[in-house]
Amino acid sequence: MAKSSPVKKAGRSLTWLGVLVVVMVGGLAASVFFSNATWLPKLGLDLQGGTQIILQPVITTGQKVQQQQLDQAVSIIRQRIDASGISESQISTEGANNIVVSIPGTPSAATLNQIQSSAKLDFRPVLVAGAPSTSTVGADGKSTPAPTPDPNLQSTPSVKPTNDSDLAYVTPLLQAQYEAFNCKSPAANSTNVAPANQPLITCESDDSVKYILGPVEVPGQDISNATASLVQSSSGVSTGQWGVNIVFNGAGTAKFATVTTRLNGLTGSQNQFAIVLDGKVISAPATQAVITDGKPQITGNFTQASAQTLADQLKFGALPFSFQQLSRDTISATLGSSQLASGLLAGLIGLVLVVIYTLFQYRLLGLVTVTSLVVAALLTFLAISLMSWHYGYRLSLAGVAGLIVAIGFTADSFIVYFERIRDELRDGRGLESAVEAGWKRAQRTIYASKSTNMLAAIILYVLAAANVKGFAFTLGLTTIIDVLVVVLFTHPTLQLLAKTRFFNSGNAWSGLDPAALGAVYRGAAQFREPVGARRGTIASSSKEAAKRQTIAERKAAELVSSGSSDRKTDGKDS
Amino acid sequence: MASRLTRFGNDLYTGARSYDFVAKRRIWYTIAIVMVIASILIPIVKGGFNFSIEFRGGSQFQITNVSTTAQGPAQKAVASVVPNAVALVTSVNNNGVQVQTNQLTAAQSAQVGDALAKAYNVSTKEVTSSFIGPTWGADVTQQSIQGLIVFLLLAFVAMALYFRTWKMSAAAIISLFHDLIITAGIYALVGFEISPATMIGFLTILGYSLYDTVVVFDKIRENSRQELNLTRRTFAESVNLAVNQTLVRSINTAVVAALPVASILFIGAYVFGAATLRDISLALLIGILVGTYSTIFLAAPMYAHFRQGEPEIRKHDIRVRATRPKAATTTSVAVPAE
């Protein structure tokens, strides 16, 4: 026997749902066994506790920390943490100087470094580059350690430098300091405080080259965006190396064009352009062309992770200063497990009430709602577990509340759908065609309304910070699952149920009983149409409504219902 | 055998029973305006909202070398000095306790420090206090508001495109603000603290309110698409019928959405004493109820109101009234929409 098309379609939808569940379970199982995932979703700071780090700014003596700088640092650190996942960390100031960062779980060294390093990026021209040795090789072939610079040496250029690449910057004092400069000394690691309009002695980040650099040509503030990507060679083939692509704002683009124009005409070390991050040169490429579009690429010894980290750091701006860890403690949850347990238990009781109510309202059809909710719950659980492994998603108390509200949103899809089917039955359609026609109408409404939720989720996820981002994520996730469930489970199930005798015969317990739905009276609607608008008062019960119907009206209604075959009724465009 | 609500649904669908949501809009407008004004006045009279430590920052006490990290003693110690302060207690490294409270005066701070030392049986030297800044700082608020404004603008445009009239967007957004203001007003009345969880609750309401309106408006769109070609109902009447036809769905959805939230609020917060759940579930419960109410009593009547002046609609309504002279004999013809 050939299967009818709705049944075939229903079978296909249910198969897809099955495939989806199997893939998600498989994915989760694989990541549990082969990676560090867990079966259960990870919990947020408020429910599980985490690590509290107190950061102290690294400042030179006499420098004072302004409140405004501290607030700015908090904001930048928050953006950096948000960029790496949806962990709902808490960042605030403590006392006059410190910043407290509370992160759920145990943060990795990379995460810590990303939070606390200043990420001050400057572009400086190279004046002198050489081996990182601190000794000079004399004419006799013997090397002698460079002497400690004599402070009496000339420290101001004898000729005013004409541009930032002018070697006149290299005064005898600077030359002596350069020769004595030890890349491995502690001092070399804190040179990022050199004034922007002065030359800087520093080293390559792996200490392989020692430099004297000119004043800052393009400051990091002029960066408007940064992304990480694989570097491509001039022929467009990927080199397998990671780089950071920088986009300058207008001012940065103009400055960068001027500098590359000048450097392009120079030779030797002076042709090089140093990219300085927190005082260390991450790379000093030779200038091969004039860059006028303001989009240089930084290459160096990047991995995908370090390129991404640097891109994020550059995008959100440099911290006003670098930080060091003052303390690092494990902290407990503020809410504790008892709160979560009572919340979940209360939610469960609420859910049981929902089940009772839907069964009461929709009879056996209510079971479809309940199973659909169970399927939605399963998908949500799997998705959240996967997300907490892959994106560092953490379930906070607000997240749990969001999931509970999602029950309402999800159930509404079914309610809208069932009500449309009932409307079609009231119009006198058979069950199978009512299911199809009702679905067609309900579908539009469901997509339109879920789109507003999706819009809210996407915009808030992109634009908002911290907790709001977590909320947006939960909303988006549950909306997607909601639509998936109604399309791949609820509708196909109803298509199949419509075939069964129980439902098709309009059993009173099916919830889709045409008699109960007043399908036989359908003609009455046409006669009684203007009734709503003519009434001056609100009818408060059906008894009252019936009372208001005149005998003549009632008789006429019966007449119409028995005689009319007009299927066109209220508010229908079919 | 049909349940009462099913029969009720049948009557609403056919129009056998109908509520005058649209025609009586003056009443609903008046109620809405009074409620909104009250909701704005309440926080002003009560001296503003009660923002939590996450927004304002506060005092932090660190107690080290304790033998127990239980939260109870700290809460009691803080309450003994400042009875209405909310104390957030965290254990640190299994041998320390961290207590955060609202901003205290220097004198209170010293007293709380002493009380905490006594409570945990350590010397006062083990207790340090400092000021802790807000974790939900001005930057977070600013970013969130920016996100909201962008969302509302885009939602306005998206709805205008989908429904092919900006008047639906306008009605939906106005009733959205109505919901938010009233929820905030009730919140201020109850006097609960506004915590980040509450903020998330408000955002959820915003989503729910708009969602609910879109569902009902979609039915109005469906109905009115062809009503204008017929002479059965005036425009206002057809809007009213659509609202009535979706009334059962509105009731069912509101009940289903509100049940778990109400259960968390009453069972979770009051029976089990999970205080933090209280903030968010109260905001959600009020929001769901007000959101459902405003779609029916405010958004739909407003939409009919906004459009009744359009020449096409007016012509249609005149045509409709012309076809029903006899109807006037049964009851007096109340002009459905002026």
Model confidence pLDDT, tens digit, residues A177-228:
887 787 776 565 554 456 777 788 888 877 788 888 888 888 877 888 888 8
Alpha helices in A427-550 (DSSP H): 431-463, 466-485, 491-497, 501-504, 524-528, 531-534, 542-548
> CB neighbours (10 Å) of residue A349?
18
Of A22-26, A50-54, B70-74, which gets the smallest average pLDDT?
B70-74
Looking at every residue in chain B, the average pLDDT score rounds to: 83
Co-location of B150 and B127 in the same domain: no
Q: Which of B111, B132, B153 is where one domain is finished? A: B132
Q: Do B264 and A360 touch (CB under 8 A)?
A: no
Q: What is the pLDDT of residue B32?
A: 93
State the pairing for strand pair A200-203/A323-331.
Answer: unpaired
Three-class secondary structure of residue B6 per DSSP: helix
**A142 — pLDDT class (breaks 50, 70, 90):** low
Nearest-Cα residue of chain B relative to residue A539: B19
Which residue out of B200, B238, B308, B321 would a mutagenesis test of the A interface target, given it has the greatest number of A Cβ atoms within 10 Å?
B200
| Number of domains into which chain B is organized | 2
**B175 — pLDDT class (breaks 50, 70, 90):** very high
CATH code reported for the domain at A50-117:
3.30.70.3400
For the stretch A84-98, what's the b/e string if a residue is b when 16 or more beta carbons lie within 10 angstroms of its beta carbon? bbbbbbbbbbbbeeb
Kindly report whether the global pTM for this prediction surpasses the value 0.90: no
Q: What is the pLDDT of residue A190?
A: 54
Co-location of B106 and B143 in the same domain: no
Co-location of B120 and B36 in the same domain: no
Q: Do B130 and A415 touch (CB under 8 A)?
A: no
Q: Which of B132, B154, B184 is where one domain is finished? A: B132
Q: Which of B97, B132, B167 is where one domain is finished? A: B132
Q: Crossing angle for the helix pair A397-426 and A365-390, nearest 10 degrees?
A: 150
Closest CA to A58 of A99, A94, A92: A99
Q: Do A455 and B151 touch (CB under 8 A)?
A: yes
Indicate the domain borders of chain A.
5-40+334-504, 50-117, 121-318, 522-563
Q: How far is CA A253 from CA A126, A162, A278, A291, A292, in A?
A: 19, 22, 22, 8, 7
CATH of the domain at B294: 1.20.1640.10
CA–CA dist A132, B121 (Å, integer) = 58
Q: Can you give the residue range of the structural domain that contains B107?
A: 58-132
Co-location of B217 and B274 in the same domain: yes
From the list A90, A94, A449, the residue facing B215 with the nearest CB is: A449
Q: Would B4 be classed as within a structural domain?
A: no
Beta strands in A78-117 (DSSP E): 90-94, 98-104
Q: Would B330 be classed as within a structural domain?
A: no
Q: Do B140 and A78 touch (CB under 8 A)?
A: yes
From the list B211, B236, B334, the residue facing A534 with the nearest CB is: B334
> CB neighbours (10 Å) of residue A31?
17
Over residues A236-290, the pLDDT tens digits come to: 777 778 888 888 888 888 888 888 888 887 877 788 888 887 778 877 877 777 8
A559 pLDDT higher than 70:
no
Whole-number percent of chain A with pLDDT over 70:
80
Q: Would B267 be classed as within a structural domain?
A: yes
Co-location of B299 and B264 in the same domain: yes
Looking at every residue in chain A, the average pLDDT score rounds to: 77
**A141 — pLDDT class (breaks 50, 70, 90):** low
Q: What is the pLDDT of residue A501?
A: 76
Please determine, looking at this structure, whether the domain spanning A121-318 carries the CATH number 2.40.33.20: no
Over residues A399-429, the pLDDT tens digits come to: 877 787 788 888 888 888 988 888 888 888 8
Q: Would B5 be classed as within a structural domain?
A: no
Over residues A80-120, the pLDDT tens digits come to: 887 776 677 888 888 888 888 888 888 777 777 777 777 77
From the list A343, A452, A465, the residue facing B140 with the nearest CB is: A465
Query: What ipTM was predicted for this assembly?
Result: 0.82
Whole-number percent of chain A with pLDDT over 90:
8
Contact B192, B198 (CB under 8 A): yes
Q: What is the pLDDT of residue A489?
A: 92
The answer to whether B267 contacts chain A (CB < 8 Å) is yes
Non-local (6+) Cβ contacts of B149 within 8 A are: none
Non-local (6+) Cβ contacts of A165 within 8 A are: A125, A127, A214, A262, A263, A266, A270
A313's enclosing H/E stretch is helix A304-316
**Pairwise pLDDT comparison (B310 vs A64), residue with the higher score:** B310
Chain A residues whose CB is inside 8 A of the B130 CB are 94-95
Nearest-Cα residue of chain A relative to residue B241: A532
CATH code reported for the domain at A5-40+334-504:
1.20.1640.10
Closest CA to A193 of A295, A276, A84: A276
Inter-chain Cβ pairs, chain A and chain B, closer than 8 A: 371
**Pairwise pLDDT comparison (A301 vs B119), residue with the higher score:** B119
